[in-house]
Structure 1
Amino acid sequence: MENTFKNTMVGLLFLSPALITFGIFIAEPLVHAIVLIFTKYNVISPAKFVGMANIKTFFEDDRLRLIYWNTFKFVIILVPMHMIFGLLLAVGVTKVISNKWKYFYRTIFYFPVLVTTASVAIAWQFMFNYDFGVLNYILNLLGIDSINWLTSPTWVYLSVAIFSLWKFVGNGFLYYLIGLQAIPKTFYEAAEIDGATSVQSFFRITIPLLTPTIFFVFITTMIGAIQIFDEPYLITGGGPLDASRTITLYIYEVAFQNHEMGYASTLAVSLFLIILAVTIFQFKMSDKWVNYDNE
C-alpha cells in the first residue's frame, strides 16, 4: 500500500506541469465561459446576470445557421484535401532513393507551415486578384475566363481551400512520412516475392498499417477545419457578406467588435461541445478500422 501511494505521488509530480498548464489555460477559461453564458458583459461595465437570454438568442439567431453551414462546408472541403494530398506527398517522398533529395522535399513541403500566415496571406490576395492576379493570368492563357476568387460566394470556398492546402498540408505530410518510415520493409519484400504489384502493396500493406497515423491526421485536421480562422479572416475577411464567415470568425466579431462577451461565450461553448461530440464519435468508430498491430 505504501509503495502504491508513493508511486502515485511520483506520477502526479511528473504530471503536475501538464496538469497546472491544463488548469490555467483550458479548465479555468472554460469555467469562466460557462459562467459568462448567463450574463451580459461588455468588458467595460460589470457583468449583469440575464439568465437564459443568451441561450434563447443562440437558438433564434438566423445568421448563426448560415455560419455553421459555412463551417461545415469548409470541413467537407478541407479535410479530404489535406488528408489525400498530404498522403500523396509523403508516399512520393518515401519513393525518392537519395536521402539528400528526401531532406530537400521534406523542407520544401513543410516550410509553408513555419511561415507566418499573415505575411503569406498578403501574397495570396494578390494572386487571387481578379484584374492582375497570377491565377487569372494563367487561366486567361489557357483560354478560360477570369474568376472572382474573393468576391464570388461560390468560388470563395475554393480560394480559402487552396490557400489552406498550400499553407498547412505540410502538417499531415510530416505525420504520414513518419508513419510510413515506421512500416517494416520486410512486409513489402514478402509481398514482392508473392507477386504483388505496387498498387496492391499500397492498399493491402501501407494503408492498413498506416491507419493509426491516418486516424490521428483525420482527428487533428477535422478539429482544425471546424476551428478555421486564419485563412478566411486574412484572405476574405468572412466575405463576401457572410459567405465565408465561420463560427470562429463570428465568435471574434461578437466578442471583440460587438463586445457581447456573454453571447460570444455561448457560441464558444457550443463550438466546444460540437468538437467534443465529433471527437468522441470518431474515437468510438476508430475501433472498427484502425489497426495498431504492425508486428
Structure 2
Amino acid sequence: MLAFKRALVALDLSEMDLQLLQFLAQHYQALGIQKLYALHIMPDFTEPSHPDLDFQKRFAPESPVDERVELAIKARVEEVFGEAPGLDIDIEVREGKPYEKLLHWTKIKEADLLVMGKKRLSEGSGITAKRVARNVHAAVLLVPDGAGAEIANLVVPNDFSENAARALHAALALSRAMKGQPVHSLHIVDLPPGHYYNRSSPDRGYLGMLMESARLAAGKFRDAQGIADDDIVDVFQENNRNNLAAHIIRYAADQQDSLLVMGAKGHTPFETFLFGSVTERLAQSIEGQPLLIVR
C-alpha cells in the first residue's frame, strides 16, 4: 500500500478547491494519507484580493482576515469530507509569496505528498505545475481543472528505468488499494528520423526489430521487479508524434478516467537537470487527467 502519510493540499478559495477536496475525499485512503494540511497563502493579510474577503473586510472588520479564511476553508472541508475515518485535517492560512511559501510549508510540515490544482489559465501567483514539480521535495499530485474524481485506469510511461519501476509499483499499490483498476505500462518506441520515410510495414524491418526488443526488455524488467505478467497491461507504441509527452497524454486521454503516474529523480543539481524533458512537459501540458509524480 502507498503511504503518503502526510499530505498538503494548496487551496486558493476558487472553485478549484472543491475539485481538489472531492478528489482527496475519494482517494485519501488509497493514497495512505493520515494527516492532511489544507494550506491557503495570501500575499498580504492587509489587502485581501478575493472579492468575498474584501466585502467582509468592509462590512465585518471585527474578524481578522486570516480567521475568516480559515473558517471558510474549514466549512468547505467539513462539507466534503464529513467524518473521514482515519484522517486528521489541519487548516493553515499563511502570508507571503505563494510559490516560496508553498515550498517552505511543504518542507516544514514534512509532507510526503503535495496536492495542487492546475488551472487552464494562470492567475499570476507564480505557482506553476512545472516549477513546483521541479523544486518540491515531496511527491506531487496535479489535478487539472475539469478532471473527474473517478479513477478507472492507471497509466505508467515505462522506459524500464528505476524511476519507471518506482512509478509502476506505486500504480500497482494504488490499484490494489482501490478496485483493482488496470495498470497500463506504456512503452513508446522511438524510431530514428532517417527511418521515418518507410513506416508502411510496422511489423517488419527496423521498427519491427525495435518493437521486439522492447517486448524482450519489458519481460526482463517485469522479472527483475517481481511483477507478474497479468499484473499489468503492456502497451508498445511507436512515437509517431515525435513528441513523447504529447503521445503519453493522448494515450491517457483515450483511456477512461485515467490517472498518469510518473517517476522523478531527486534533488542534486545533476538530478534536477535531468528531471526536465518528459515529466516537466507532462506537468506543464496535462489537461484532462490527474498526474502523480513519485520520487
Band the TM-score falls in, shorter-chain normalisation: under 0.3
Larger of the two Rg values belongs to structure: 1
Query: Per residue, is there more helix in 1 or in 2?
Result: 1
Query: Per residue, is there more strand in 1 or in 2?
Result: 2
So what's the TM-score if we normalise by structure 2?
0.23
